[in-house]
Amino acid sequence: MLAQTLRPAEWIIVDDGSHDGTAAIIQEYARGCPWIRGWMRQDRGRRLAGAGVVEAFYDGYHQLQRGDWEFLVKLDADLSFAPEFFQNALEHFRKQPRLGIAGAHLYQIANGQIQLEGGPGFHVRGASKIYRRQCWEAIGGMLAAPGWDTVDEVRASMRGWTTASFPDVIAVHHRPTGSAESRWRDMIKRGQGCYVAGYHPLFVAARCLRHMTSRPYLLGAVGMGAGFISGYLGGVVGRRDPALVHYVHEQQWHRMWGGDSLWR
């Protein structure tokens, strides 16, 4: 971050109950850089899928001292990127006035090779998110639930904003998405996220079928299906927005019939 050609006006680093030397490292750099500050949270004693990430982010958000910001950025701690990361990303925003949420193409290192973490064209991985202020206010911020990083983009689309990840803005994800949990728990979380984001049951069924062809065979598909169904059984905290569900169903139905949609 210190090497960035365009540094943030404020950088709040949230220590979400770490048991290593994170707090001391934050304090060391904060002493020399007044634009860096730390915020320490108590260890909740367990992982809280989706909601925990958003809770930690909002703890940092509420520590911001400047009210004149134009862009709000969420970054995971396990990323590395080039010094031109922010400068290049904000140039995209300058050229696209209706771009509301954007981020980097995330890569992971597997067997010594760099591999892209794929996803729909509109999706911006939760590890690297940049929000334009007008869009952030229009969507009402983040939802503290699994699937939050899809819900915000769908809400943005509903309100006329575009979302995208930039091929020329790259970050390396040193702990790939879902790797902090077992494959089973990760797929359950994904299924719960699909429920919160209002996915159509047939669309989720198609995704489950696709996961049956990848390792571990069957386990991932069953986990995603179980997570999705758990939402209907009250296993997911929070209520879905009916307008968002209708919009997502409409978009995914178009996709399943070969039409234009967010999931093109």
- Tens digits of residue pLDDT in 81-105: 999 999 999 999 999 999 999 999 9
* Residue 96, domain member (yes or no): yes
Residues 78 and 193 in one domain: no
Residues 91 and 197 in one domain: no
pLDDT (0 to 100) of residue 124: 95
* Residue 231, domain member (yes or no): yes
Residues 175 and 194 in one domain: no
* Residue 43, domain member (yes or no): no
Residues 186 and 172 in one domain: no
pLDDT (0 to 100) of residue 254: 92
* Residue 13, domain member (yes or no): no
User: Which of 180, 204, 234 corresponds to the end of one domain?
Assistant: 180
Q: What are the b/e assignments for 130-146, b being 16+ CB within 10 Å?
A: bbbeebbeebebbbbbb
User: One-letter amino acid identity for 2?
Assistant: L
- pLDDT block averages, 10 residues each, the chain of length 264: 96 88 91 94 70 91 95 95 97 97 92 84 94 98 93 97 95 72 84 96 94 80 94 84 96 92 87
* Number of domains present in the structure of the chain: 2
Give per-residue pLDDT as tens, 246-255. 999 999 999 9
* Residue 26, domain member (yes or no): no
User: Which of 180, 213, 241 corresponds to the end of one domain?
Assistant: 180
Residues 152 and 163 in one domain: yes
User: Which of 180, 202, 220 corresponds to the end of one domain?
Assistant: 180
- DSSP-H helix ranges across 159-218: 183-196, 201-211
Residues 225 and 205 in one domain: yes
* Residue 21, domain member (yes or no): no
* Residue 40, domain member (yes or no): no
Residues 194 and 251 in one domain: yes
Domain limits for position 122: 51-180
Q: Is the dihedral of CA 88, 80, 168, 122 positive or negative?
A: negative
pLDDT (0 to 100) of residue 47: 65
* Residue 207, domain member (yes or no): yes
pLDDT (0 to 100) of residue 176: 63
Residues 110 and 144 in one domain: yes
